[in-house]
Amino acid sequence: MSKKRVLYITQEIFPFLPEEGIASSVRRLSQGVQEEDKEIRVFMPRFGVVNERRHQLHEVIRLSGMNLVIDDADHPLIIKVASIPKAKMQVYFIDNEEYFKRKSTCKDMDGNFHEDNDERAIFFCKGVLETVKKLGWKPDIVHCHGWMAGFMPLYLKKMYNNDPHFENVKIVYTAYNQGEGGVFNERLIDKLKFDNFEAEDINVLGQPTIENLNILGIKWADAIGIGSETINESISSYIKESEKPVLDYQTEETLITAHQDFYNNIIENDEILAN
């Protein structure tokens, strides 16, 4: 029987960004799941603070070259890749000069939330999906980590729902304590409507904040994870009101085993229903 496939879409992963929070958790999880019994792919944004020389990033020409349309403007997609030798893993990076060249992640040197973080997140999610299609790699589970991947469940369920590469895929969205106060561009709703999303698809965004983008990800996911010991109260309340499978916060000792069981239950229940 072929290995099940898990696509990890993450805001960050160690060693390319500091070993803390999401970066640490996703590194342990993806490596552990691969070493157990699953085939994985990992994607993150190529933030300008990622040291390309030290980590030996190189462009994958055959995957690069397409343009992604964000708010009626074309933006070139560049795909880079690097290895984590100790883990025998590769990480794919979504890159674009306009969005990711700056020497920061989501805030500037003064701690201000980047004005175009909404477009950067949309570009990241669409870039991952188009690259996975080019790879010809069909995942069984897409596991999203952090608000930068918050649009992914929406795009998978509403824009890519008829694409054979993502047929019957199950989406897990894990929310983290990433701090509060991030407010996106006031035109975010209009930018999403450009991709033909209806008002009811994105109504939970309300005021476009980090908290509400997490809720959007949860709304369209099939299952939910909690990646921090404590998370925002509004996000926690939304999770409690949902009727979806939830994987509570896991310690380092239980992280891999708990996720393996969670993934297997999601896949097996879907196969039972399909039969």
| Cα–Cα distance for residue pair 16/230, rounded to 1 Å | 25
| Cα–Cα distance for residue pair 142/157, rounded to 1 Å | 12
Nearest residue to 166 via CA among 128, 204, 201: 128
Say if residue 15 is preceded by a cis peptide, omega within 30 of 0: yes
Quick one: pLDDT at residue 86? 85
What pTM does this model have?
A: 0.95
Q: Which residue has the tokens 């109260």?
A: 233
Question: Each residue's pLDDT tens digit in the chain (275 positions)?
Answer: 589 999 999 999 999 999 989 999 999 999 999 999 899 999 999 999 999 999 999 999 999 999 999 999 999 999 999 999 888 999 999 999 999 999 999 998 888 899 999 999 999 999 999 999 999 999 999 999 999 999 999 999 999 999 999 999 999 999 999 866 689 999 999 999 999 999 999 999 988 999 999 999 999 999 999 999 999 999 999 999 999 999 999 999 999 999 999 999 998 876 533 43
Helix H, strand E, coil C: the string for the chain is CCCCEEEEEECCCCCCCCCCHHHHHHHHHHHHHHHHCCEEEEEEECCCCCCHHHHCCEECCCCCCCEEEECCEEEECEEEEEEEHHHCEEEEEEECHHHHCCCCCCECCCCCECCCHHHHHHHHHHHHHHHHHHHCCCCCEEEEECHHHCCHHHHHHHCCCCCHHHCCCEEEEEECCCCCCCECCCCHHHHHHHCCCCHHHCHHHCCCEHHHHHHHHHHHCCEEEECCCCCCHHHHHHHHHCCCCEECCCCCCCHHHHHHHHHHHHHHHHHHHHC
| Cα–Cα distance for residue pair 259/269, rounded to 1 Å | 15
Quick one: pLDDT at residue 207? 87
Q: What are phi and psi of 268, to 5 degrees?
A: -65, -40
Nearest residue to 23 via CA among 38, 4, 45: 45
Quick one: pLDDT at residue 156? 98
Q: Which residue has the tokens 């072929």?
A: 2
Over the stretch 40-75, which tens digit does the pLDDT of each residue have?
999 999 999 999 999 999 999 999 999 999 999 999
| Cα–Cα distance for residue pair 186/209, rounded to 1 Å | 10
Quick one: pLDDT at residue 273? 37
| Cα–Cα distance for residue pair 223/170, rounded to 1 Å | 8
Q: What is the CA radius of gyration of the chain?
A: 17
Q: Which residue has the tokens 């196969």?
A: 271
| Cα–Cα distance for residue pair 172/157, rounded to 1 Å | 12
Over the stretch 151-178, which tens digit does the pLDDT of each residue have?
999 999 999 999 999 999 999 999 999 8
Domain ranges, ordered by start, for the chain: 5-274
Quick one: pLDDT at residue 110? 86
Q: What percent of the chain has pLDDT over 90?
A: 88
How is domain 5-274 classified at the architecture level of CATH? 3-Layer(aba) Sandwich (3.40)
